[in-house]
Chain A
Amino acid sequence: MTRNKSADDQFPLVRRLAPAVLLASGGVVFLALVDGPENMIILNSSSTTGSVSSSSSSTSNPTGSTSTQELTCGAARSTGAQVEFKWGIVQVEALLDGEGELCEVEVLQFPDADRRSLAINNFALPILRDAVVVAKNANVQAVSGATLTSRAYMASLQFALDNS
């Protein structure tokens, strides 16, 4: 049970710790440099217009009454905030039906500066649209591979729903 000799056998603790510590610090520095903030900024959304519905909230709507107008998707529209995140800006518009329920989402703005973003969003935005329309709210699972876009999308939609 004897280990082989090597060049640094006489070196003190600090010297032998150095390579590991150096690597670890390298990792930390690398993360600090490339792993930018993932927070989203809700930009000043003075453009939150277009709410043609007079209803103040979806829950206060009577559900019993029916009319042709109430079944039409787009009876009311509400524009979401511009949400800026790591890869650009997302802004959606929520379309509500006569009962004030979410029935369609239109994307007004999304990151399309580079091919990769374009590809991700072409793939992810339809999935998000389907998910939120089924859920009728903005709390759905983020799309794999487009986590940040999903979060920004949901934040913008939430803003739209809050202001409808």
Chain B
Amino acid sequence: MTKPLRRPIRSALLDIDVVALTAVATMVVMGVWLRHGGVDMLAGSALDRWTSISRLSGLFASFTGLVGVALSIRSTQVERKFGLDTMYNWHRILGETMAIALVVHIWSGVMSWSVEASVWSAIRDLTGREPYMAMATVGAFFILVVAFTSLRAVRRRMSYETWYFMHLLSYAGFALAFSHTIVLGGDFNEDPIARWMWIVVHIGLAVWLVIGRWGRVVRSVLKPLHITNLESTGVNTVVVTLGGPALENLRGDAGQFCYLRPLVRSSWWKSNPYSMSAAPSTDGLRFTIKDRGDASQTLGGLSLGTRVAVEGPYGTCTPEVLAGNKLLMIAGGVGIGPIRSLLERVGPETEPVILYRARSEKDLVHVEELTELAIRVNGRVQTIVGPTSSLAVKDPFSTAVLLTSVPDLQDREVVVAGPESLLFAAYKGLRAAGIDALDIHFERPWW
């Protein structure tokens, strides 16, 4: 008998926790700096001033970096509260901030050394007048390379895996930079309390990382699911169902996505996110995959029975967050997956209107299923098909057009799923129509 999977856990975190944690961490960073005369040094000699700036920026770079790493652990509690998309967007902001702080740290350090000698000799000292300084320099270089390759323009030029393997260098960067913070700098080498706090924070994070992040990968590989069904539908689109006893370990709901890692020779090192296109149940997890990148080609080309390691499900756009109001669902391309799965779990009071955007008739998938599910809950499906240039209206998600197709737009909560351009266009049109930002649900793109 088909039973839904256990629901995802409810997070014990609150919005205010973020404020509290940020406040505590800021106070600790500022406290360490102040405790060692940060402000007095700012008013002192040129040497003291630059040293003080270097210490503060170094502490700040470490702090933002550590929080960034903590987010990438994908803690279930944090994920359930804020969603992986928000976490990775924070990760990006923290990473960029860290890179800037790191540049300030290095620059002010060099300036402090050059107070009593030439700038060139100070730059040379980056490679090791002091013990562990050369290691720190190499570590900083790794971190800056990681930050550089994560700029959108650079990131786009390589595959996810090439980028990801480079990104792993940041672990080496942190490890290499750690000893210079303990041995040099005056904040931690002369103050046992601050030093032990610093060491405990680092060890704690390392343990959490190994158990939480790497452990999750190991667990997913040790208890994989299997491909139980493969069907092709539409153009270059394949429907993959995963099942097996390991389903019992998963908690998930409609509207979520999973990271899939097919355990075959050609792709065990590739883990990619896919939205579920049906509410997850004891029958399995169903994914509708459009053949665009290499990973989707691999998944479509696999045979029945292939083991697939599953991480997740992730995502906060679940039926729980919908307040039971009337619904508007906007889907583009394979964004239809999460919309279709959500449709299984909403009640008749939602009277959902589904706007389904696709480039051509052939790109539409699951239309019969959608219509059937929609009618069951007093809803309807409307497709918007054709290349953007050929549409009767320039912008199918402008306020005017939305109001024509959905006259009671203002009374509805909205779920949007699809490519970034569609999210952007729909969000703009909906906001202009006066829909509250909190009533528009979507996964923010983060790569």
Contacts and interface: CB of A to CB of B under 8 A. Distances in A.
A156 B172 CA distance: 36
Contacts of B135: 31, 35
Interface in B116-170: 116-118, 121-122, 125, 127-131, 134-135, 138, 141-142, 145, 156-162, 165-166, 168-169
Counting contact residues on chain A (CB < 8 A from B), the size range is: 35 or more
B131 A23 contact: no
A1 B158 CA distance: 18
Contacts of B245: none
B141 A36 contact: no
A9 B169 contact: no
B130 A147 contact: yes
B296 interface: yes
Nearest to B275: A1
Interface in A1-35: 1-11, 13, 16-17, 19-21, 23-24, 27, 30-31, 34-35
Counting contact residues on chain B (CB < 8 A from A), the size range is: 35 or more
A114 B122 CA distance: 12
Contacts of B162: 8, 11, 16, 19-20
B198 to A, nearest CB: 16
B186 interface: yes
A57 B129 CA distance: 36
Contacts of B172: 24, 27
Contacts of B334: 1-2
A123 B272 CA distance: 56
A36 B168 CA distance: 27
A36 B131 CA distance: 10
Nearest to A21: B165
Contacts of A1: 257, 272-275, 334, 337, 443
A45 B183 CA distance: 30
Contacts of B141: 27
A123 B117 CA distance: 12
A148 B159 contact: no
A50 interface: no
B3 interface: no
Contact of A8 (B113, B159, B169, B184): B159
B166 A23 contact: yes
Interface stretch (B206-214, B219-227, B286-294, B393-401): B286-294
Interface of B: 113, 116-118, 121-122, 125, 127-131, 134-135, 138, 141-142, 145, 156-162, 165-166, 168-169, 172, 176, 183-186, 189-190, 257, 269, 272-275, 290, 292-296, 334, 337, 419, 443, 447
21 contacts: A1-B272, A1-B273, A1-B337, A2-B290, A3-B293, A4-B156, A5-B292, A7-B159, A11-B162, A13-B161, A16-B159, A17-B165, A19-B166, A20-B169, A27-B141, A31-B138, A34-B127, A87-B129, A114-B121, A120-B116, A145-B130
Given A23-B142, A27-B172, 11 more contacts: A2-B293, A3-B160, A3-B272, A6-B158, A7-B158, A11-B159, A24-B172, A116-B116, A116-B122, A144-B184, A148-B129
